[in-house]
Amino acid sequence: MEMEEAQVLAGLKRRKKILEYITSYGFITPALIILGVFAIFPTFYVFYLSLFDWSMIGGKTFIGLQNYLNLLIKPPYSQDFWHAALVTVEYVALQVPITMALSLFLATLLMKPIKFRSFFRLGIFVAYVTPLVATSIVWEWIFHPDYGILNSILKLLNLPPSPWLIGFPSALFAIVIYTVWHDLGYSTILFMAGLTAVSKELQEAAQIDGANAWGVFWHVTWPLLSPTTFYIFIISLIGAFRMFTPVLVLTQGGPYNSTTTIGYMLYREAFQYWKSGFASSIAVVLFGIIFSITLIQFRVTGRRVFYSEGTEGEE
């Protein structure tokens, strides 16, 4: 009798566990379907297209790895790609550190009890939620060499005007200025969220021990802010490598391809020259670059991230 009751209870537990699994997977199935249709399948399909010579019209011709050879080794396409890669690296090296430094500075200021703090917070974040194309068009007028407000300010300061979007190397720096302005609000909000989690007791203890404001920030606030900093650095790096819309609206890759990034080269090959297979190989290589850099950052920088529990970030 006891054995039969135990078997019945075991059966009920198994059925309950199976029901829980079915319910759990039922809840996540819609999200998995969306992820599969709009993320996973396109990723594999792009790699599939990169093995073909296809212009979006007519049939596909299988050419294997020829698109990758043309892109990475054989001129003139390889010359264009490596130039675009260099421009992209220059842009990333300027945009990411400037954005992070300014956003941390602004976040520190906006955490202080100043007047109209909510208004300033909203004003900084509005730029990020405004469509890229719309704000790019506005900044195109701001950068205008004859009628733009920036050159008007330079004239008032008795400084020589800049060609901005039509000059070299000012065009790339102009895009950096715009994207820093656009992305500043998001990074600032994240830093502010990170600062709210910093222990006030530790900061006060450092002040009692004689540390000045810089000492408190460098030895207490900054280490405790490292998880937020690491996250912002990773997403900023990925976003900078994928940057495309500002180049399309402001410079179209000019002057003399000085602002042609990998993202814009991908767009140009796919939708101006109709070389979909070749453009797909660019997308795959760009994905490989971003994935490799992100993995390196997790392995190198991620180990130095300090968490409040007293452990360092590890895999």
The pLDDT, as a whole number, for residue 303 is 65
- Residue count of the chain, please give it: 315
Mean pLDDT for all residues in the chain:
88
Residue 262, Cβ neighbours under 10 Å: how many?
25
Domain extents for the chain?
A: 2-49, 66-304
Of these ranges, 18-27, 83-92, 105-114, the one predicted with the greatest mean pLDDT is: 83-92
Whether the predicted pLDDT of 157 surpasses 50: yes
- pLDDT tens string 220-256: 888 888 889 999 999 999 999 999 999 999 999 989 9
Whether the predicted pLDDT of 71 surpasses 90: yes
The pLDDT, as a whole number, for residue 39 is 87
Compute the average pLDDT of residues 119-133: 86
Whether the predicted pLDDT of 313 surpasses 50: no
Task: Indicate the fold that domain 66-304 takes in CATH.
Answer: MetI-like fold (1.10.3720)
Reduced 3-state DSSP string for the chain: CHHHHHHHHHHHHHHHHHHHHHHHHHHHHHHHHHHHHHHHHHHHHHHHHCCEECCCCCCCEECCCHHHHHHHCCCCHHHHHHHHHHHHHHHHHHHHHHHHHHHHHHHHHHCCCCCCHHHHHHHHHHHHHCCHHHHHHHHHHHCCCCCCHHHHHHHHCCCCCCCHHHCCCHHHHHHHHHHHHHHHHHHHHHHHHHHHCCCHHHHHHHHHCCCCHHHHHHHHHHHHCHHHHHHHHHHHHHHHHCCCHHHHHHCCCCCCCCCCCHHHHHHHHHHCCCCHHHHHHHHHHHHHHHHHHHHHHHHHCHHHCECCCCCECCC
Compute the average pLDDT of residues 31-50: 92
One-letter identity of residue 181: W
- pLDDT tens string 89-116: 999 999 999 999 999 999 988 888 777 7
- Model confidence at 311, in pLDDT bands (50, 70, 90)? very low
Among 182, 187, 179, 190, residue whose Cα is nearest residue 263: 179
| Percent of the chain with pLDDT strictly greater than 90 | 57
The pLDDT, as a whole number, for residue 120 is 81
Query: What does the angle CA 187 – CA 192 – CA 195 come to, to the nearest 5 degrees?
Result: 125
Whether the predicted pLDDT of 309 surpasses 60: no
Q: Could you tell me which residue, 111 or 78, shows the higher pLDDT? A: 78
Residue with tokens 């792009």: 46
Whether the predicted pLDDT of 178 surpasses 80: yes
Whether the predicted pLDDT of 278 surpasses 60: yes
Q: Which two tokens stand for residue 24?
A: 């759990």
| Percent of the chain with pLDDT strictly greater than 70 | 94
